[in-house]
Amino acid sequence: MKIGGSYELALPPARAYTVLQDPSILARCMPGCDHLNRIGETAEGHVAYEMKMKMAISSVQGLFAGTVKLADPNEPTSFRLIVEGSGKVGFMKGEGVLTFVANGTGTDVRYEGEVNVGGVIAGVGQRLLDVTAKHIIKKFFGKVAAAIGEME
C-alpha cells in the first residue's frame, strides 16, 4: 500500500531533520513504541535501531519486534526511513522518504513510501490498513510537535 502526505512542524528544516533522527524523540513519539535501542550501523551504512512496538488493527493486535533504519542521509533535505517488524499476528514493512521543505519559519515534512503487511494482520486488517496507517502517522507527528513544544 502506498502512503504519502505532509505535516507541518514549527521548526526550521535543519532542526526538524535532527529531531526526526533523534532516537529519544522517535521512541517517545512512535505510537505503541515499547523501546528503541541503537544497534549500530548496517553494512550498507544505515543507522539501525532495534525496536518493539505494539500495533492494533481491526480485531487484531500484537507486539512487533524488528528494526528501524535511517538511510540515505541528505542533511537537511531528506532521509529514508525503513521499519520492519514481525510478531505473532504477522509482519509489517514500511519504507519511505522524508523530505524537509522550509515553509516560513517552519518546515513541511513530506513523506512518501510504501507499507506492506502479511499474515493475520493482512488477512483481517487490510480493510482498515489505510486509515490505520494514516492515523498512526498523524499521531506520530502530533507527538513530535508536542515534544518540540516542550523543548523550545
Partner 1 sequence: MSTTIATTEKLVGKSIRRREDPRLITGTATYVDDLKLPGMHHACILRSPHAAAKIRSLDISAAQSHPGVVAVFTGPDVAGVGPVPCGASLPGLRVPHHAILATDRVYYVGHAVAVVVATDRYVAADAIDLIEVDYEPTAAVADPEKALEPGAPAVHPEWPDNVSFTYHQEGGEPDKAFAEAEVVVKQRITSQRLVPMPMETRGCVAEYHTAEKSLTLWSSTQIPHLLRTLVGQMLGLSENRVRVITPEVGGGFGCKLNVYAEEALAGFVAMKIGKPVKWIESRRENFLCTIHGRGHVDYYEIAARRDGTVLGLRLKLIQDLGAYQQLLTPAIPTLSVLMMPGLYKFRNISADIIGVFTNCVPTDAYRGAGRPEATHGVERMMDLLAAELNMDPAEIRLKNFIGNDEFPYATATGLSYDSGDYAAPLKKALDMVNYHALREDQRKAREQGRLMGIGISTYGEICAFGPSPATPAGGWESATVKIDPSGKVTVLTGASPHGQGEETTFAQIAADELGVSIDDVIVFHGDTAIVQYGIGTFGSRGTAVGGAALFFALKDLKAKIKKFGEMMLESDDITFSGGVCTCNKTGNTVSLAQIAGMSYRAMRLPVNEEPGMQATRFWEPPNFAFPFGAHIVVTEIDRETGHVEVSRYVAVDDCGNIINPLLVAGQVHGGVAQGLGQSLWEQAVYDDTGQLITGELMDYAVPKATSMPWIETGHTVTPSPVNPLGVKGVGEAGTIGCSPAVVNSVVDALSPLGVRHIDMPMTPEKVWKILQGERI
Per-residue x/- marks for partner 1, 14-43, CB under 8 A? ------------------------------
**23 prior amide bond cis, ω within 30:** no
Considering only 6, 86, 99, 103, the residue that binds partner 1 (CB under 8 A) is 86
Q: Is 65 one of the binding residues for partner 1 (CB under 8 A)?
A: no
Separation of CA 131 from chain center: 15
Q: Is 90 one of the binding residues for partner 1 (CB under 8 A)?
A: yes
Considering only 56, 97, 101, 120, the residue that binds partner 1 (CB under 8 A) is 120
Considering only 35, 88, 135, 138, the residue that binds partner 1 (CB under 8 A) is 88
Sign of CA dihedral 34, 7, 75, 148: negative
Q: Is 3 one of the binding residues for partner 1 (CB under 8 A)?
A: no
Give least dist CB 48 to partner 1, A.
18
Q: Report phi then psi at 26, rounded to 5.
A: -60, -45
Considering only 38, 54, 127, 134, the residue that binds partner 1 (CB under 8 A) is 127
Cα gap 103→7, rounded to integer Å:
11
Cα gap 57→126, rounded to integer Å:
9
Q: Which stretch binds partner 1 (CB under 8 A): 3-11, 69-77, 112-120, 144-152?
A: 112-120
Cα gap 6→37, rounded to integer Å:
27
Listed in sequence order, the residues at least 6 apart from 114 whose beta carbon sits closer than 8 Å to its beta carbon are 1, 2, 3, 94, 95, 96
Give least dist CB 30 to partner 1, A.
22
Q: Is 122 one of the binding residues for partner 1 (CB under 8 A)?
A: yes
